[in-house]
Amino acid sequence: MVLPKPGASDPHLHVVGTVRVPSEKFCLSKWVEEENLHGHYCQCGCGRRIRVLAWHRARGIPRFLRAHGPTGLTKETARYRAEGYLTATDVARQLGIGQTTLRRLEGKLFEQAPRRGTRKIRVFTPDQLPELQVLLKKETLLGPAPELIPLGEVARRAGCCRNTIRARLGKELPAGRLLTHPRTSFAFTPEEAEQIVAWIKQYVGTRPTRHT
């Protein structure tokens, strides 16, 4: 394009040539797919993957997962773990129960865990974990493989209702054990459960089967 000289009486523009500039269309979904394929991981050291979303294109891909950033709490927790302690989260995960359940058992099933630091973080030693696993297995119905059998399961095996067994506990049937975790109920050892099932089927009979 040639511009006219200043002061010219005929200010017409003359096209000398054209240049084509190719425009590349940007695909947001393709960008998200490529970034997730590339892989972004939390910088706290947990090794968990960050899922890239479309709005990360404008705001930036986060360096940490939610609540994994370098806050005072995470730094203090990391320091205790580096010293060899286990937090309530670690213990609950290895026991196969939730943190709320662990807090409810504290002071009942086991002694209260010591608090450390200004934030009063519960800490456990690795030596406590086997003891807690044994207590959980023998004294509650919690965890992946409890030794006790709940009253409802014994009644199901015997083919009767719970009240039929509950009314004879400590008399014709073993007294069992009254548990409060996760709820108040009776529980029995496998030997006691077999004894109850055999007695019910011999002297009480089973519930009649409903025919439809």
User: DSSP secondary-structure letter at 27?
Assistant: -
pLDDT at position 207, please? 52
Extents of the domains making up the chain: 32-70, 84-139, 149-204
pLDDT at position 9, please? 59
pLDDT at position 25, please? 74
User: DSSP secondary-structure letter at 127?
Assistant: T
pTM score: 0.55
Inter-residue contact 187 to 149 (CB < 8 Å) = yes
* Domain topology for 84-139: Multidrug-efflux Transporter Regulator; Chain: A; Domain 2 (1.10.1660)
Inter-residue contact 165 to 173 (CB < 8 Å) = yes
CA separation (Å) from 53 to 2, 26, 92?
48, 16, 31
Residue 110 β-bridge partners: 106
User: For the chain, which residues score pLDDT lower than 70?
Assistant: 1-13, 22-23, 182, 205-212
Q: Residue 75 is inside which H or E element, if any?
A: helix 72-82
